[in-house]
Amino acid sequence: MKTTALLISSALLSLTPFASAQTTAEAQKALTPSAVLDDLMAGNKRFTENKLTPKNVPERIAKTSTGQYPKAVILSCLDSRVPVEKVFDQGIGDIFVGRVAGNVENTDQLGSMEFATKLAGSKLIMVLGHTACGAVKGACDGAEMGNLTGLLKKIEPAVRAVEGYKPEERNSKNIEFVNKVVTKNVQQTVADIRSRSEVLSQLEKEGKIKIVGAVYDLKTGKVTLLDS
């Protein structure tokens, strides 16, 4: 029991703002899903306060060239204004990041998450949407264009699920409506991950991982966790 507590304490210490080393195998193994989430949110606080941890990039490149032990996997939108590693003050080898417009899941993403958790040891899955999402706006307007059409169709259930707006208010010009769809879409993706992946669902039931949703505010840089 004392050994476990010591390992967790050491892991948390290695993830403080003063640490320069990437996530190690020992730290990854000792961390709990909740501890990983706390670390990410603490990193986001540093990001919003412009207090990012100094990182020795050449050193990290060298140390991760022979292995990686990421503590989390984040499914994010494609948007260039959401630099995921920076948003959570993470460095090379610390987190897996999957990106697709509208942060929607498919079998490729699910397979990647299963690899990241079951095989590579990550403890947390986060679906990260963001305010004023262009893909969500397109879904709100029923936009169609090439292969993008099929992607936007995956967001339409979230559009329909948001109630309390008149027909003329349910479009991309109404940013309040758009952002509510953003939230609903993240929650729907979290639910889909649980229902479509037996591997991930079982890992969560066993307490080995946690699956959460969050939204990044383009105006403030703050990440807000959602009830999921």
| 3-state DSSP of the chain | CHHHHHHHHHHHHCCCCCCCCCCCHHHHHHCCHHHHHHHHHHHHHHHHCCCCCCCCHHHHHHHHCCCCCCCEEEEECCCCCCCHHHHCCCCCCCEEEEECHHHCCCHHHHHHHHHHHHHCCCCEEEEEEECCCHHHHHHHHCCCCCCHHHHHHCCHHHHHHCCCCCHHHCCCCCHHHHHHHHHHHHHHHHHHHHHHCHHHHHHHHCCCCEEEEEEECCCCCCEEEECC
Q: What is the pLDDT of residue 29?
A: 86
Buried b (16+ CB within 10 A) or exposed e, 145-176: eeeeeebbebbeebbeebeeeeeeebebebee
- Contacts for 185 with CB less than 8 Å, ≥ 6 apart: 102, 103, 104, 129, 133, 136, 155, 158
Residue (of 106, 42, 101, 105) closest to 71 by Cα position: 42
- When pLDDT is averaged across residues 85-107 and rounded to a whole number, the result is 98
Q: What is the pLDDT of residue 228?
A: 64
Q: What's the burial of 56, exposed, middle or buried (CB within 10 Å: 0-12/13-18/19+)? A: middle
> Looking at the predicted structure, is the pLDDT value of residue 9 above 50?
no
Range of the structural domain that residue 44 is part of: 2-226
How many separate domains does the chain show?
A: 1
**Backbone angles phi and psi of 220, in degrees to 5:** -115, -20
Tens of pLDDT, residue by residue over 24-77, are: 888 898 999 999 999 999 999 999 999 999 999 999 999 999 999 999 999 999
Tens of pLDDT, residue by residue over 129-143, are: 999 999 999 999 999
Averaged pLDDT of the chain? 92
The 10 Å Cβ neighbour count of residue 66 is 6
Residue percentage of the chain with pLDDT more than 90: 86
> Looking at the predicted structure, is the pLDDT value of residue 17 above 50?
no
Domain CATH number, residue 60: 3.40.1050.10
Structure tokens at 213: 């949703």
Cα 133 from Cα 148, distance rounded (Å): 14
- Global confidence as pTM: 0.90
- Contacts for 50 with CB less than 8 Å, ≥ 6 apart: none
Q: What is the pLDDT of residue 136?
A: 99
- When pLDDT is averaged across residues 209-225 and rounded to a whole number, the result is 99
